[in-house]
Copies of this chain bind each other. A is one copy, B any other.
Amino acid sequence: MRVNDRHVSFYYEQDEDIGDINIDPKKTALLIIDMQNVFLRRPTENGKSEKELIGIKRWKPFYDKIENIVIPNNKKILDVFREKGIEVAFAQIECHKKNGSDRSLDQKATGFNELLLPKGSEDAKIISELAPIEDEIIVTKTTDSAITGTNLRLILHNMGIDTVVVTGVFTDQCVSGTVRSLADESFKVWLIEDACMASTEKIQANELEILNNIYCHVINTDELLKAL
């Protein structure tokens, strides 16, 4: 089954079973993934080397999209969930040990993967625009999948949640891993295409096409809010 005509891959091109966007708010949670300072805050150019400036320039379209579209849409969705009393959960990369010894292997690697985000560090914090309030659920992980590395699956099950609306970064990494784990654990998953992002639009498009209809249905913020 598919619910719209976007991001349709080879597997579902010939599928004519078009369904509705049905979401039961009482059994649904919003899961906002890794919307943390370290990933979303545009680095300052002051005092940077030429090589670093090239790196910053490469990521400019990403930060533009995050600031203009992804954060505002997350905020819009979050406001509606809070207003309607629908459950909200946050996943966050954070390690316990200052030296990062409890991180999973790939976060100890070199290059882009390397992440040292000890508990309570400024970099690890969820961006202020989306800061959790009251008793909203926060799970911390040193994995990419928010299911593999936390007790979120059990908590959601205890709460009677069987449907998860997913947003956040990066679409091809922690978002994809979480969507796949949620599907494997028999949750219904809705991925919000204009509230998640990969490093580039090309990777974003590729990953959405791979995930869509197989592990989740990819819809946009408007479609989501209309369905609630």
Interface residues of A (CB under 8 A from B): 1-2, 9-12, 14-15, 17, 54-55, 58, 96-98, 101-106, 109-113, 118-119, 134-138, 141-145, 147-151, 154-155, 157-160, 172-173, 176-177, 180-181, 183-188, 199-200, 202-203, 206-207, 209-210, 213-215
List of B residues within 8 angstroms of A103 by Cβ = 158
Partner of A199, one of B11, B136, B154: B11
Given contacts A109-B1, A207-B210, contact A158 B11 (CB under 8 A): no
Cα–Cα distance between A155 and B151 once the two chains are bound (Å) = 13
Partner of A144, one of B141, B173, B184, B200: B184
CB pair B183 A135 closer than 8 Å: no
List of B residues within 8 angstroms of A186 by Cβ = 104-106, 154, 157-158
Cα–Cα distance between A200 and B10 once the two chains are bound (Å) = 8
List of B residues within 8 angstroms of A11 by Cβ = 111-112, 199
A91 CB to closest chain B CB (Å) equals 12
Partner of A214, one of B113, B151, B159: B113
List of B residues within 8 angstroms of A207 by Cβ = 206, 210
Given contacts A112-B12, A159-B97, contact A102 B180 (CB under 8 A): no
Cα–Cα distance between A114 and B48 once the two chains are bound (Å) = 52
CB pair B142 A155 closer than 8 Å: yes
A4 CB to closest chain B CB (Å) equals 14
Q: Identify 17 residue pairs between A and B in the complex whose beta-carbon atoms are under 8 Å apart, listed by A's number.
A: A10-B58, A12-B112, A97-B137, A101-B160, A102-B155, A102-B159, A104-B158, A113-B213, A113-B214, A142-B154, A142-B158, A148-B154, A158-B186, A180-B180, A206-B206, A206-B209, A206-B210
A120 CB to closest chain B CB (Å) equals 9
List of B residues within 8 angstroms of A172 by Cβ = 210
